[in-house]
């Protein structure tokens, strides 16, 4: 299968106890851009989108088991508060606060997200479950573009996935990433955080 460059505008709803809640949106003015066949998105999401063509609307549900799985309480951990103190011993309250999602690295350098829970005098609770774990996901939107990916686009996305960044000059997602054209300096186009696997 050839790698396709795909752009979609969508709304993502999570279903909890039968209630549908808007959790994420990639509007037409700032769509989600990805390349198929490299494991960047949920497998089921990619399969559903690849069955469509430019201009098609979509509305599909990905069951919890094919999305992020069930919540696992073993993935909720207490860690020493000192892990988040600088050399001066001061706790990093600017970044470590209840409800914030932070990026951590394991011993092998793999990056992963954690949701900060309760903070006590000497402990921080981290929830390592994906924020959408335990939920069915509903995607509604439109395929804005679908074509063969160029070599330059492939290089850019592989650089992004390797942790080098998207090459657009932003230091992290949300720091200006995607605020210019995807072709400009190899920008990821703002696909940061959307339906990643």
Domain ranges of the chain: 4-68+134-186, 73-127
Could you tell me if 67 and 156 are in contact, meaning their C-beta atoms sit under 8 angstroms apart? no
pLDDT tens for each residue of 53-67: 999 999 999 999 999
In this prediction, what percent of the chain has a pLDDT beyond 90?
66
pLDDT at residue 158 in the model: 76
pLDDT at residue 18 in the model: 86
Pairing of strands 111-119, 19-26: unpaired
Predicted confidence band of residue 106 (pLDDT cuts 50, 70, 90): confident
Would you identify the CATH topology of the domain 73-127?
Thrombin, subunit H (2.40.10)
pLDDT tens for each residue of 40-51: 899 999 999 999
pLDDT tens for each residue of 118-177: 999 999 999 999 989 999 999 999 999 999 999 998 888 777 766 665 544 444 333 333
CATH of domain 4-68+134-186: 3.10.50.40
Could you tell me if 126 and 119 are in contact, meaning their C-beta atoms sit under 8 angstroms apart? no
């Amino acid at each position: 299968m050839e790698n396709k460059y795909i752009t979609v505008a969508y709304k993502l709803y999570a279903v909890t106890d039968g209630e549908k809640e808007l959790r994420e949106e990639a509007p037409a003015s700032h769509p989600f851009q990805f390349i198929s066949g490299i494991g960047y998105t949920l497998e089921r999401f990619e399969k559903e989108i690849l069955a469509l063509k430019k201009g098609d609307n979509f509305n599909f549900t990905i069951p919890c088991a094919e999305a992020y799985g069930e919540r696992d309480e073993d993935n909720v951990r207490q860690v020493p508060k000192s892990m988040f103190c600088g050399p001066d011993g001061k706790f990093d309250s600017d970044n470590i606060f209840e409800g914030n999602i932070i990026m951590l690295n394991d011993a092998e350098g793999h990056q992963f997200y954690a949701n900060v829970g309760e903070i006590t005098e000497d402990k921080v609770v981290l929830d390592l479950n994906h924020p959408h774990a335990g939920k069915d996901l509903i995607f509604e939107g439109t395929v804005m573009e679908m074509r063969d990916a160029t070599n330059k686009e492939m290089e850019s996305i592989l650089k992004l996935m390797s942790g080098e960044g998207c090459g657009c000059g932003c230091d992290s997602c949300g720091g200006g990433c995607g605020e210019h054209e995807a072709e400009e300096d190899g920008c990821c186009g703002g696909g940061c955080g959307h339906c990643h696997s």
